[in-house]
Each structure stands twice: as structure tokens, then as C-alpha cells.
Amino acid sequence: MNKLFITFILSTLLLSVVCIVKSQSDSYKPILLMHGFAISEDCGANTDWDTMLKYIQKNNPDQIAIALDVDNHLKSTKPMFTQINDIYLLMTSILENNSSFANGFHIIAHSQGALLMRSLVEMYGFKVDNFISLAGVHNGVFGVGFTNDYWFGNFTDKELTDLMYSSSMQKEFSVANWWNDPKDNDRYIKENFFLPALNQELSELTPEFKANFVSSIGGSFNAFGSQDDEVVDPWISELFGYYNENMVMIPINETYSYQQDSYGLKTLDNQGKLKLTQVDGVKHADWLRREDLFNQYILPLISK
């Protein structure tokens, strides 16, 4: 009798432990990860996330994490609206065929990928828990500092702006869609086919963008940026700031989109759902591979 009683107790305890472990792993919402831009066959692809996927597996072994296999490498230069459509088709296929996403999911996105995923949330609305933006180009880029050491040669700011705002580049090249000359806002509004619409800076607004963005974020929108990024210019675009017309960097609360609450940034902020974090000493691609950054900033957000 005693042996049977002891066996019963041990079995009950073991079952309880198994249930606790299962409930903990089940509580981790799945993750979709979106890569950034590159004119290269070495990066700008779903494989950019290989290192981070290992970190996720190490810490949360049962958590589903999918690096979106879409518009990789040179295809990451396709115009933004084309890429948005490509990602949307892949995302809806994943969500419709995997019940694990039914109660919401996290997004981790890097650089251009952060802008693309924010676009999808605004345009279509998804059940997102935490959105993690790593060095996202949310208010665009500007200037020779971004291009000379990366993929263009010796252009002046004006020559680059003329090139980026040309109809052919706007229709064919993603970076042109997030080129933003702060010294000529009227031209930016008129000639950039993408970013003014997404950031709701046009005279005619799309109310659904704001409604979708605000209602989609169940947890928080977390943007991370670094003044030592060395790719995004101005780096504060990663935290929804930008240059003013005098080429002085301004924070988010001095930008048009925030002050007008054009697509919901101020609303999220007032709800305590907008988290902006500056981390010094971080280069653009460090977010993809540094384990200390993952452990300190990303892991807590995906382990809820």
C-alpha cells in the first residue's frame, strides 16, 4: 500500500512538472523575422537570421521562429510595394496553415525589413504581440554618408536626390522609396511614391493605416537604434526621428508624423506601448549576431 501510495505521489508530481514545462513553452508566442536590404548575394536574406535563430533555440527551444524566405539578396532591392505584396502572400500562407499563430505572434525585423513589416501591419492589420525593430529606416535616409561607402560613388546630395526621386528609380528600387530629402519637403511629398503615404504625410490620409497599426500591437512596439550604426543616415530615423530642414537631427516628438499622430505613434506612446531604445556602440549588422544584444534586449520581449 505504501509503495502504491508513493508511486502515485511521484507520478502526480512528475505529471505536474511536465504540465508546467509544457505550459511555459506553449506561452511563447511564435516569431516571424524579416531581413533587410542588400545589393549582395552574401546578405539581405532570410539566412541573415541564422545566428539569432540559434540563440532563440538555445533559450526557448520549443518556440516557433520563422525567418521569412522572401525577396532575398538582390531581390531585396525591388520596390517596396512589390515586396510588401510578396511578404503578405507568404505571411498569410504561414498564418492560415499554422494554428500556433492564432493567438498572435512577435515580429523581429532589421533595417529595411522593419519598415516593410510596419507597412504590412498598417496596411492589413495583424495580431502582433511585440514588434521588435532593429535599426529600422522608419523615416527614411538621406545624404552621401549613406551611399559612398556602401554601393554608390561620389555623388552630391542633390545628384542623389535627383536620381532617387526619378520615376524610374521610384518604380524599381526600394531605397529610392525611403529616400527623404529634409531640405525640400514639398519635393519629397510629391516625388516619393512610398514613404509619405506610409507615414501619412499626404493631404489625403488613409484612416485604416492608423486604425490597423494601433489595434494590431497587443504588446508593444520596440524600436532599437544606435548612433554608431554607420549605415543609416540619420541614425535617429531608427527611433522615428530625422533631420529638420536645417539638417539638425530631431527626436520623434518633433516630427510631423508623431505630432499629428498620423498613423498612431503618439497614440501608442500614450498607451505605453511605444518603446524607443538607443544603444551606443552597435553597428548596423551587430543586431543580427551579437549574443549580448539578443540576451539583453530581444530575449525578454519574445519570452512573454
Mind listing the pLDDT tens digit for each residue in 181-238? 999 999 999 999 999 999 999 999 999 999 999 999 999 999 999 999 999 999 999 9
Q: 17 lies in a domain?
A: no
Q: Is 72 exposed, middle or buried (0-12, 13-18, 19+ CB in 10 A)?
A: middle
What is the model's pLDDT at position 152? 59
Q: 285 lies in a domain?
A: yes
**Residue 280 pLDDT level (bands cut at 50, 70, 90):** very high
pLDDT at 74 exceeding the cut of 90? yes
Provide the whole-model pTM.
0.90
What is the model's pLDDT at position 304? 80
* Separation between Cα atoms, residue 178 and residue 173, nearest integer Å: 10
Average pLDDT, the chain: 91
pLDDT at 148 exceeding the cut of 90? no
Q: 239 lies in a domain?
A: yes
pLDDT at 1 exceeding the cut of 80? no
Q: 18 lies in a domain?
A: no
Per the structure, the complete domain to which residue 266 belongs is given by 31-141+207-301
pLDDT tens figures, 167-176: 999 999 999 9
Q: 150 lies in a domain?
A: no
Q: Report the relative pairing of strands 105-110 and 249-250 from DSSP bridges.
A: unpaired
Q: Which of 227, 229, 242, 36 shows the shortest CA–CA distance to 139?
A: 242
Q: 155 lies in a domain?
A: no
All three cell numbers of 144, joined, read 552621401
pLDDT at 150 exceeding the cut of 60? no
Task: Give the CATH number for residue 235.
Answer: 3.40.50.1820
pLDDT tens figures, 8-37: 444 444 444 333 333 444 579 999 999 999
Mean pLDDT of 267-283: 98
Number of compact structural domains in the chain: 1
**Residue 103 pLDDT level (bands cut at 50, 70, 90):** very high
What is the model's pLDDT at position 3? 52
C-beta of residue 215 within 8 angstroms of C-beta of residue 207: no
What is the model's pLDDT at position 39? 85
Q: 48 lies in a domain?
A: yes
Amino acid at 65: A
All three cell numbers of 226, joined, read 544606435
What is the model's pLDDT at position 41? 84
pLDDT: which is higher, 5 or 40 = 40
C-beta of residue 64 within 8 angstroms of C-beta of residue 30: yes
Q: 147 lies in a domain?
A: no
What is the model's pLDDT at position 153? 60
Mean pLDDT of 159-179: 96
What is the model's pLDDT at position 9? 44
What is the model's pLDDT at position 145? 58
